[in-house]
Amino acid sequence: MSWEANVRKVTPYVAGEQPKGQGVIKLNTNESPYPPAPGVARVLREYDAAMLRKYPDSETEPLRSELAAYYGVEREQVFVGVGSDDVLAMAFLTFFNHPSLPVLFPDITYSFYDVWAELFRIPYQVQALDEQFHIKEEDYRKPNGGVIIPNPNAPTGELAPVSMFERILRANPDVVVIVDEAYIDFGGESCLKLIDQYENLLVVRTFSKSRALAGIRIGYAFGSKKLIRYLQDAKYSFNSYTMNSITLTAGVEAVRDDSYFREITDKVIATRERSKKELAALGFSFTDSKSNFIFAAHEKYRAKELFDALRAHHIYVRHWDKPRIENYLRISIGTDAEMNTLFAFLKEYIGA
Amino acid sequence: MSWEANVRKVTPYVAGEQPKGQGVIKLNTNESPYPPAPGVARVLREYDAAMLRKYPDSETEPLRSELAAYYGVEREQVFVGVGSDDVLAMAFLTFFNHPSLPVLFPDITYSFYDVWAELFRIPYQVQALDEQFHIKEEDYRKPNGGVIIPNPNAPTGELAPVSMFERILRANPDVVVIVDEAYIDFGGESCLKLIDQYENLLVVRTFSKSRALAGIRIGYAFGSKKLIRYLQDAKYSFNSYTMNSITLTAGVEAVRDDSYFREITDKVIATRERSKKELAALGFSFTDSKSNFIFAAHEKYRAKELFDALRAHHIYVRHWDKPRIENYLRISIGTDAEMNTLFAFLKEYIGA
């Protein structure tokens, strides 16, 4: 035997490429095309580095209370982690422990869910979206060990109504139901309003998209006090101090500057809606995305061909070589100028 | 049944108190009494906050390469995480998966080891230190599912020779052996030199103590390329982007400024050695700590009484109400001025 026999072997999640260098148009990881709130830069400039000799606040203050105040909930209903991936990983570990029943999630969805399930050896069963990439509500009414659904879904961008989640919650009082709202700020209605009513609901969010802070690693979640307490306990059993002091301070500024947040979010939404028209004119069809990306297929050109042509032109979008979605491109919404470069290239390529 | 039935219920690790306010002397969490390298402050002042809209480097660069260069290893032999707790948690999850044999560690040691074992449902068996708090090498020669030992051990501060670890490694080729070197910079000889010879050895370190950066959350580890690859894969299955961009840049400065690092480390060591003399004169006995704390018991006064008296006087040290160590205080090494205040109080209290 060798020490390798007992290693946990996994097939890790593969994130989108992070090309470096000038002149690259990066529309492949759903980052914001705009900088974060100006207060974040100020925090860094004025930060007293001497304080870093001390451990951060293990209760993730002052960010936790700031989020609670902004969203009108109690601080004991808020959990803060190192990006929503950290929050979701801890939630899988904490809540999805049924000995045999599978956790349910869509077949076309965030491709980290099955990775976490494999890592923690959680049984799971994917539920096929319908032909229009809509969630089939009835799929989530069978016996299960937990439910996780993103809203809007990724990479489709499809938004489901809060009423659907409420019906799924009513059908599943015995498991934890996670709604992954990474993209909710781009025009969706949140399930946050349901946390007082359903103590088994966890609503997960991130600063990486709408708050333009992918590089600082902040995710957060809302739930009943009881649910959040369990999640905190597991987190304290993993790492007492996940959030560094600088991030906790800078994050507060991003939350406080609500007018800037609305401004950049509105700009992304406006560019997205304009992009839909441009893409339609170019012969693309797509779901009615309420996120900061568009999931599009062309009537004539294969997605892989377009992906390669764009990449050769230093325009990065996302493509998965997976059943049902291999002919789609996921295009993050960039600045208007970046999108114009994309459309100009496609016009020439497709026209040629 | 309720959703609570399948929640992973744990007894979390309890960190030392983090008292706030002026006039507190904090000798309870082994933080550095000195600020981090001046380059860290410069990085924050000059940081381009606009870059934070993008995801960080998922390969934890530039810090990973900087650590490799400083310690004379290859970058594929280095792992970087959110404090050594994150590194250790991932290592437990990745390497300690024997179906039945227990992971071995000392009975008096870092109190997070059994917490991780419980969290991940890993069987474990503690091995009693001898009466002088020394590790009994023969305890680590029985069939096991893995070994983890801190060197110097905590909270005793006792250093074991590299030769002991080499013998333990030779006796355990079939499991991963972790040496937790959180305190090695304060006068110990590292097992780093053994990683080329033993591909099942993981050596774990932190920026939280000797590099005065507990607030920024950096831990790291060295091992064979194969071992580090497995750890990276598990980490990518948990959270692709654990390290934020600011930390990765600031951490580089802390590594580069070697003369500052040696200066503050030497100061802590000098204060520690002086503190031993002071404590001996006050009637304390203690292990010969090679860390940034002293684990001391008084000949007449119960540790709990001293702990309470010090706390009432705004001097925080650490005390555990646990068998074998309930009469010890763990006193972190502060500045000379802080230690003088401690000694003056003790002199008066004990003299009285």
Q: Is A171 on the interface with B (CB under 8 A)?
A: no
Looking at domain A17-36+259-351, which CATH architecture does it have? Answer: Alpha-Beta Complex (3.90)
Burial letters B316-327, b for 16+ CB under 10 A, else e: bbbbbeeeebee
Check CB contact under 8 Å for A241 and B214: yes
Q: Write the pLDDT tens digit of every residue in A17-31.
A: 888 778 899 999 999
Looking at domain B38-256, which CATH architecture does it have? Answer: 3-Layer(aba) Sandwich (3.40)
Specify the DSSP element, H or E, that contains B145.
none
Q: Write the pLDDT tens digit of every residue in A303-337.
A: 999 999 999 999 999 999 999 999 999 999 999 99
Check CB contact under 8 Å for A215 and B52: yes
Mutate which: B3, B44, B94, B261, vs A, most A CBs within 10 A: B3
Q: Write the pLDDT tens digit of every residue in A220-265.
A: 999 999 999 999 999 999 999 999 999 999 999 999 999 999 999 9
DSSP letter at B100 equals S
**Overall fold of domain A42-256:** Aspartate Aminotransferase; domain 2 (3.40.640)
Collect all residues of chain A within an 8 Å Cβ-Cβ radius of residue B41: 47, 49-50
Residue B154 has pLDDT above 80, yes or no: yes
Tokens linked to A92? 């899988």
- Residues A216 and B54 sit within 8 Å (Cβ to Cβ): no
Q: B152: closest CA among B107, B126, B124, B190? A: B190
Q: Is A114 on the interface with B (CB under 8 A)?
A: no
- Residues B218 and B237 sit within 8 Å (Cβ to Cβ): no
- Residues B338 and B33 sit within 8 Å (Cβ to Cβ): yes
Collect all residues of chain A within an 8 Å Cβ-Cβ radius of residue B82: 82, 239, 241-242, 244
CB nearest to A95's CB, from B7, B52, B236:
B7
Q: Which residues contact B234 (CB under 8 A, 6 or more apart)?
A: A8, A10, A12, A119, B90, B93, B94
For residue B178, the tally of other CB atoms under 10 A from its CB is 28
Measure CA B332 to chain center.
Answer: 13
The β-bridge relationship of strands A284-286 and A293-298 is antiparallel
The CATH superfamily holding the domain B22-35+259-351 is Aspartate Aminotransferase, domain 1 (3.90.1150.10)
Burial letters B30-53, b for 16+ CB under 10 A, else e: bbbbbbbbebbbebbeebebeebb
Backbone angles phi, psi at B33, to 5 degrees: -80, -5
| Angstroms from A348 CA to nearest CA on chain B | 29
Q: Which residues contact B202 (CB under 8 A, 6 or more apart)?
A: B91, B95, B176, B177, B178, B179, B221, B222, B223, B227, B231
CA atoms within 13 A on the CB side of B187: 18
Measure CA A273 to chain center.
Answer: 20
The CA dihedral of A121, A125, A131, A133, to the nearest 10 degrees, is: -50
Q: Write the pLDDT tens digit of every residue in B36-47.
A: 999 999 999 999
pLDDT of residue A108: 97
Domain boundaries, chain A: 17-36+259-351, 42-256
ipTM over 0.90: yes
The SS3 call for residue A219 is strand
- Residues A165 and A151 sit within 8 Å (Cβ to Cβ): yes
Answer whether 0.95 is exceeded by the pTM.
yes
DSSP B257-314: -HHHHHHHHHHHHHHHHHHHHHHHHTTEEE----SSEEEEEESSS-HHHHHHHHHHTT
Q: Is A199 on the interface with B (CB under 8 A)?
A: yes
Cα–Cα dist B91/B234, whole Å = 9
| Angstroms from A32 CA to nearest CA on chain B | 6
Tokens linked to B90? 């991932």
The β-bridge relationship of strands B293-298 and B329-332 is antiparallel
Collect all residues of chain B within an 8 Å Cβ-Cβ radius of residue A235: 12
Residue B262 has pLDDT above 70, yes or no: yes
Mean pLDDT in residue range B134-152: 98
CA atoms within 13 A on the CB side of A170: 8
| Angstroms from B351 CA to nearest CA on chain A | 33
Q: Write the pLDDT tens digit of every residue in A82-134.
A: 999 999 999 999 999 999 999 999 999 999 999 999 999 999 999 999 999 99
Residues counted in chain A: 352
Q: List all residues of chain A from 21 to 80 with a beta carbon under 8 Å from chain B.
A: 26, 29, 31-36, 40-41, 44-45, 47, 49-58
CB nearest to A82's CB, from B11, B31, B82:
B82
